Amino acid sequence: MATKIALFSDVHGNLAALNAFYASSKQLGATEYWFLGDLFGPGDGAQALWDKMQVINPTVKIRGNWDDFFLNCQANHDQIAKCEQKIAHRLTSYTKTRQAIAAWPLHLEKRVNGVYFGLSHNLPTHNYGDSLSVRADNQALAALFADNRQPCDVAIYAHIHHPTMRYVDLHACSNAKKLEKDYNYNQADERLVLNIGSVGMPFDRPACHRLENRAEFLLLTIKEDGTLTPDFKRVAYQ
């Protein structure tokens, strides 16, 4: 039996977008949810947003950079901290919510129907920065498969707010200076890299979907034999 997983991230306080995503994913038959970070701010969703997350009940919850902003907002005084402080004050229990988010890891590796996934908000070691943007080269993407993630078949991340599907050849990255003019594809070590876009604040062009009020997510179907189908979704909301 195939497994259908809805992956979502970068809600950024947008409750209407989160509601639209969840309704659409249920209609499409998602049976499991993976969240890759950035729940609160700069949008004003607070307790109702948190309550909705409990309903969705993701089996994977990764900590993004805006989640760290939320965790540290009481100790900082910049504009992002002030934004997160307003959200914290509108929660039924900031302390309990903070404790729950603080327990989310920076990365997680999961195997489904024989396919090994590496999940992170940005890089496995840190959830901020621009190294994995749409301008990233293969060498940068190869970092998603470094160290104990070398066995991963697929790396999935968030953070850049651009739905993306790319391949990276780890053999080519590690032997860049030794590659022959006519590349021997028998030596290729290609891995799939997916970015799931943003539920609440998409950045992708030419049409800026954030202005169009369309939430982005990834519906991942994994058959029993490991056949993988990534389906990028956009759903309108009011």
- Tens of pLDDT, residue by residue, the chain (238 residues): 899 999 999 999 999 999 999 999 999 999 999 999 999 999 999 999 999 999 999 999 999 999 999 999 987 778 888 899 999 999 999 999 999 999 999 999 999 999 999 999 999 999 999 999 999 999 999 999 999 999 999 999 999 999 999 999 998 887 765 655 667 778 889 999 999 999 999 988 666 666 678 999 999 999 999 999 999 999 999 8
User: Which of 151, 152, 155 minimizes the C-alpha distance to 140?
Assistant: 155
Q: Count Cβ atoms below 10 Å from residue 16 Cβ, excluding itself.
A: 14
The span from the CA of 146 to the CA of 68, in Å, is: 23
User: Which of 164, 166, 165, 161 minimizes the C-alpha distance to 208?
Assistant: 161
Three-state DSSP at 163 gives strand
Q: Beta strand pairing status for 60-61 and 32-35?
A: parallel
8 Å CB contact between 58 and 46: no
Ordered strands of the 3-8 beta sheet: 60-61, 32-35, 3-8, 214-222, 228-236
CATH superfamily of 3-236: Metallo-dependent phosphatases (3.60.21.10)
The span from the CA of 232 to the CA of 25, in Å, is: 11
Domain locations in the chain?
3-236
The span from the CA of 214 to the CA of 117, in Å, is: 27
